[in-house]
Structure 1
Amino acid sequence: MYQHLIYEQQCEIDVVILNRPDTANAFTQEMLDEVAAVFTQIERDSPARAVILKAAGKLFSGGGDIKMFRDLLAAKAPLPVELVLGTGRMALAVRRCKKPVVAVVQGAAAGAGFGLAMACDYRILSESAKLVPAFNGIGLSGDTGLMYFLGKNLGPARTYELMTLKTALSAREAKDLGLATEIVPDDALEAQGKAFTEKLLHKPTRILERQKALLNAYFYSELETFNQEEAVAMHLSSKEADFAEAVSAFLDKRPAKFSGR
């Protein structure tokens, strides 16, 4: 049913696996739509009591597909607003899923991958994992609700500092900031991610669902509106010369030289 992810039902736990390891699980429009669809399906139909979100390969997700950015530049076309809205729908589907969602993160969660991890309720990171804002480096303002989620967790000053100045957060830095629930050894990530999720099965499931609904109502009620605003900002950012320079520099494996245009 799904081309870019794997969906498994394991007793009382549903497992969603990002499955484009050959592209570092980079997001295309189709993959964004599938992640949103599977979490909508889980919310509507699944009897599971918790969900694990993880990824095949060495990285959780490298974010947006650089090949897509290259093709847009070649066509002299800006980033479509609808594509960015797809990242927002993906994040919203995770937040609206009543069941607790545990992100199990290895390697790096960059850009939209970072935003997707932040949309989850818990983040289990391997010791070598990194959370990477990434957007400034590619000449874009940000999507997947990342700044919204960071703002709710860190406040505006720390969020702006992280988005504009920080290239990556180590697992330890993420834990110190409260962005990681647990850090586990790299070779134990799979087992300990599942063990953590299994602990949720001993909790009162309906109560957890109501608590998540209350958190959504209090902290995340404006997420959809923010997604609309960030989509416009991303579209405009993709028209700037600095976006073209960032993509070219990435493909050429050289530092970008931003001009402010």
Structure 2
Amino acid sequence: MAIVGVGLIGGSVGRALRDRGLARRVVGIGRSTASLAEARRHGAITEATIDVARVAEADLVVLATGVAALPKLLDAVDAAVRPGTLITDTGSTKASVVAGWERRRRSRRGRFVGAHPLAGSHRRGAAAADATLFAGRVTVVTPASATPPEDVADAGGFWSALGSTVFVMPPREHDRILAATSHAPHLIAAAIAAATPAAGRRFTAGGWRDTTRIAAGDPGLWADILLDNAGPVAAATRRIATLAERMVRAIEAGDRRRLVAILERAKEERDAVGS
């Protein structure tokens, strides 16, 4: 097993593999020897290297880097793996990376099936890795139309073995849904945090902290996600802005009935998700 990128997600994959007895060797591959050493210290990997060619030793490769790095990294990994090696990833956007793979499908060595585990944290690094991170959480597997069914089954089986509930959907559908449930909410959380006056920080309580928690995520990583899914994120954010403007108009007009109706709808939607 090889994991390229052993931060929170990649490190959690490694720890889950080892805790569940699913891999004897877990080779961590990265650019920073310090990060790799940290991953090894925390039990996420058994071996560490900065040489991506070591993926040739693996039966399965997980790419756990930011979305901006994925296209070139996927090409480099594919050039080095043994023919037929299963490759999956953990990126938060899927359409662009899957399309890039498909453009050269006929010449590929590996079997790539995109995936997105809906698990994570604003924390970073292998020190935050958690062997139970994927247990009971959803992972979306996003094959292309030309992806062989057995490859989809193998990728889904891998994520299921880590404890995930697996859903399969096309890459563009994934990006449209996640724009509404993850990407636009991050944008809004960041806007709330950025718009809060410095003088008000000492007066923040549970509501502000819960609403803005995800704004503590890596700014560079999130900028890449938002830009890579620009169209769906813009559409989802405009829907939020439209509803927010209706609430503002109701407040300015003193229209309690309309304001309560919107708040009740919001409560129903939130309650439907559960805790």
Give me the TM-score of the superposition, normalised by structure 1: 0.31
Query: Does 1 or 2 have the higher relative contact order (CA < 8 Å, sep 6+)?
Result: 1
Give me the TM-score of the superposition, normalised by structure 2: 0.29
Decide which structure has greater helix share. 2
